[in-house]
Structure 1
């Protein structure tokens, strides 16, 4: 794994935090971390749990773990102690790496971390995977997902064949967390392999993102999720940004109105990327030409069966017993509704499969209702679920009442499609990756 990540000239800058970190420095830091991990008890075939915020320490310990030949268990630093303890008891790593001291402020994307290594269990890893991740849990409990070194290498090479990704000598303005698949593979691993400089902004804000783009003359691609589009769309650039080539977003589908607002403001494409923790990138439309459809990524097969999208996946990605309703016979069930155009092969994702409900014998797609609500004036974000009827949870972006919202919906949706219940929340609950939570129970609790 490290052979494809740390190759290149020692003087080449690979990270800018904001001080530049060249490959020679990164290799020396990885060497030192490898010694610390081994001294604490990490062995080939074992596992290290990394409970670190985005930081140079995270990058160094991840690469050192792989160099030892051990499994990296990635625990989002925002998880509670209870969630972490439950994961550690199940996955029994040999060591746990966590911060001893953290500096830089809550809004920093990358922080200064002094890490500590603690022995945990003298056992081999629970599986032969190179990395263990916990799914975001936007619709329910997190799943434990493993990916092999060969699988990660294949995905990194897949990125090199996607039209529109950043190329050697360019920059990725990295916004998503590297604990999760988009930031991990599409940002960190691809950038290290391809010679693309990774530049996390100093702070999570529109002005800081624009400052990172403008700081150097080389072309820049912004990599983020829909939340970050909102930050940029609400920020007015101080002047031209000739360095900005495009923004690529993963995660939830981006409403057409949001995409138009971004391209109108910046004059560059807003690319879409569709993927899952289980397999990484599935399809892309980095030019915005096919919106809302995407083209399957190189080497990925996608088919539709019974209205559900299935993705080729040679082995079950789940750690433990494999659920045949999620993976069987080389195909992963995405639980997303969609279709594949037989002529072009383009894939259209229509939202979650469980978003199809029946109201008075009439079929209603909750994704359609949610998109309509989200595009209304005064709405910052929205989630529509079935909770003994169609229920819309709305985060206002300005003055808004339930009565005004209902009147706007009456103009746009047939009566049987309109939400029976409207709930306005100051802030909708989100997962650690920034995705909107779609659990009816969690939304109900947030509203109360």
Structure 2
């Protein structure tokens, strides 16, 4: 990993938090962290669980873990103690790194952390993977997913071949967490390899994001998830932003109305990426030319089988007991419905496979119903699930009523497609990566 991360000169700035951190400084900090991990009991072939918020300490301890020849288990700092305890006893790291002090406030994207390093077990890592992550769990319990060093390096090189990514000498204004794959590989690892500065905003607000873009003269790409696009689409810039090159989003497809609001306001491309924790980036449309379709990323093959998208994956990414139907013979079964155009190769994602339901003998695609609800005036976000009938959970802008919703849907959807039950919420539940939660149980709890 050192070969791709510590290329370039020691004086090259790789992070701005907001003070610049060059590669020489980072290299020294990583060496000191290696010594602390070894003193706590880490040995080559062991594992380190990192339960740190986005911070310089997170970056340093992650790189120190890899330089020690150990596996990094990435635990989102927003997980509860109960969730963390279950993960630790399942994965048995030799060392746990967690904060003993944090500063900077809840809205800070990168925080000031003093970390504590404690011994946990004397067992070697349970798998040969360089990194172990938990899936976001938007539709149910999280899965344990491992990726090898070779796999991570291959994905970093894949990014260098994607037209539209930030180039050497440019900046990435990084919004997603580096605990998850988009921020980890598309942000941290790619940025360090390609000589692209990572410049997180000081706070997670529209004004702070725009301030980070304007802070330097070099071109900037904003990397985020759909939630961040809505945030920026509703923020009025205080002046011209010639530095803003584009915004790229991962996760679920951005509603067309939100995409239009963003591009009308900023006049730059809104790119889309499709990926999974299991394999990283799968496809992109960074110029917004093919929306809602994407082109497979270099080196990735995508095929359609009985309406499901399969992605090339040489080995199973799952750790421990898993559903054996999720991977077979070099193909990851995504559980996403979609199509692959036989001529252009463009891939169109149509939602989860379980979004196809039957109402009175009529087939209904819940993705279509959800898109219709999300496009309604006054709707900020929507999730439509099957829960003894079509059920819509809607986050409004404060002016919407359930009667108005029902009337608007009656004008736009056939009777058999209309939600039987509507729930209007002030805030829809989201995963730690910003994705809308689609578990019917979790949504019922939020509504109650």
Same structural fold, with TM-score higher than 0.5 when normalized by the shorter chain: yes
Answer yes or no: is 1:164 the counterpart of 2:140: no
CA contact (8 A) 1:313 1:330 kept: yes
Residue 263 of structure 2: aligned partner: 263
Instruction: Give the drift of 1:377.
Output: 0.6
Residue 326 of structure 1: aligned partner: 326
Quote the Cα distance in structure 2 between the aligned partners of 1:417 and 1:131: 43
Gaps of 5+ in 1: none
Q: 4+ runs of 1 displaced by more than 4 Å?
A: none
Quote the Cα distance in structure 1 between the aligned partners of 2:12 and 2:315: 37
Instruction: Give the drift of 1:322.
Output: 4.5
Q: For 1:311-334, what per-residue CA distance to the aligned partner results, in whole angstroms no more than 9, with x for missing partners?
A: 000100000135221101110010
Residue 372 of structure 2: aligned partner: 372
Instruction: Give the drift of 1:256.
Output: 1.3
Q: TM-score, normalised by structure 1?
A: 0.99
CA contact (8 A) 1:316 1:322 kept: no
Residue 395 of structure 1: aligned partner: 395
- Residue correspondences, number: 448
Residue 34 of structure 1: aligned partner: 34
Answer yes or no: is 1:219 the counterpart of 2:219: yes
Q: For 1:8-41, what per-residue CA distance to the aligned partner results, in whole angstroms no more than 9, with x for missing partners?
A: 1011110000000011100000000000001111
Answer yes or no: is 1:11 the counterpart of 2:11: yes
Answer yes or no: is 1:105 the counterpart of 2:110: no
CA contact (8 A) 1:269 1:287 kept: yes
RMSD: 0.6
Q: Secondary structure at the match of 1:146?
A: strand
Residue 141 of structure 2: aligned partner: 141
Q: For 1:247-302, what per-residue CA distance to the aligned partner results, in whole angstroms no more than 9, with x for missing partners?
A: 00000111111111110000000000000000000000000000000000000000
Residue 94 of structure 1: aligned partner: 94
Answer yes or no: is 1:239 the counterpart of 2:250: no
Answer yes or no: is 1:428 the counterpart of 2:417: no
Quote the Cα distance in structure 2 between the aligned partners of 1:259 and 1:380: 13
CA contact (8 A) 1:355 1:366 kept: yes
CA contact (8 A) 1:293 1:348 kept: yes
CA contact (8 A) 1:379 1:398 kept: no
Instruction: Give the drift of 1:398.
Output: 2.7
Residue 69 of structure 1: aligned partner: 69
Quote the Cα distance in structure 1 between the aligned partners of 2:7 and 2:218: 21
Quote the Cα distance in structure 2 between the aligned partners of 1:345 and 1:398: 42
Q: Secondary structure at the match of 2:294?
A: strand
Q: For 1:24-83, what per-residue CA distance to the aligned partner results, in whole angstroms no more than 9, with x for missing partners?
A: 100000000000001111111000000000000000000000000000000000000000
Quote the Cα distance in structure 1 between the aligned partners of 2:2 and 2:89: 28
CA contact (8 A) 1:272 1:294 kept: yes
Aligned ranges for residues 50-65 of structure 1 at < 5 Å?
A: 50-65=50-65
Residue 444 of structure 2: aligned partner: 444
Quote the Cα distance in structure 2 between the aligned partners of 1:323 and 1:238: 51
Q: Secondary structure at the match of 1:291?
A: coil
Residue 338 of structure 1: aligned partner: 338
Quote the Cα distance in structure 1 between the aligned partners of 2:378 and 2:110: 32
Answer yes or no: is 1:303 the counterpart of 2:309: no
Gaps of 5+ in 2: none
Residue 383 of structure 1: aligned partner: 383
Quote the Cα distance in structure 2 between the aligned partners of 1:366 and 1:321: 30
Quote the Cα distance in structure 2 between the aligned partners of 1:80 and 1:195: 36
Residue 248 of structure 1: aligned partner: 248
Instruction: Give the drift of 1:397.
Output: 1.0
Residue 81 of structure 1: aligned partner: 81
Q: TM-score, normalised by structure 2?
A: 0.99
Residue 404 of structure 2: aligned partner: 404
CA contact (8 A) 1:294 1:348 kept: yes
Q: For 1:226-250, what per-residue CA distance to the aligned partner results, in whole angstroms no more than 9, with x for missing partners?
A: 0000110000001110000100000
Q: Secondary structure at the match of 2:100?
A: strand
Q: Secondary structure at the match of 2:335?
A: strand
CA contact (8 A) 1:34 1:65 kept: yes
Quote the Cα distance in structure 1 between the aligned partners of 2:237 and 2:40: 48
Quote the Cα distance in structure 2 between the aligned partners of 1:410 and 1:18: 50
Quote the Cα distance in structure 2 between the aligned partners of 1:2 and 1:321: 32
Quote the Cα distance in structure 2 between the aligned partners of 1:185 and 1:240: 30
Aligned ranges for residues 17-28 of structure 1 at < 5 Å?
A: 17-28=17-28
Residue 130 of structure 2: aligned partner: 130
Residue 118 of structure 1: aligned partner: 118
Quote the Cα distance in structure 1 between the aligned partners of 2:413 and 2:322: 41
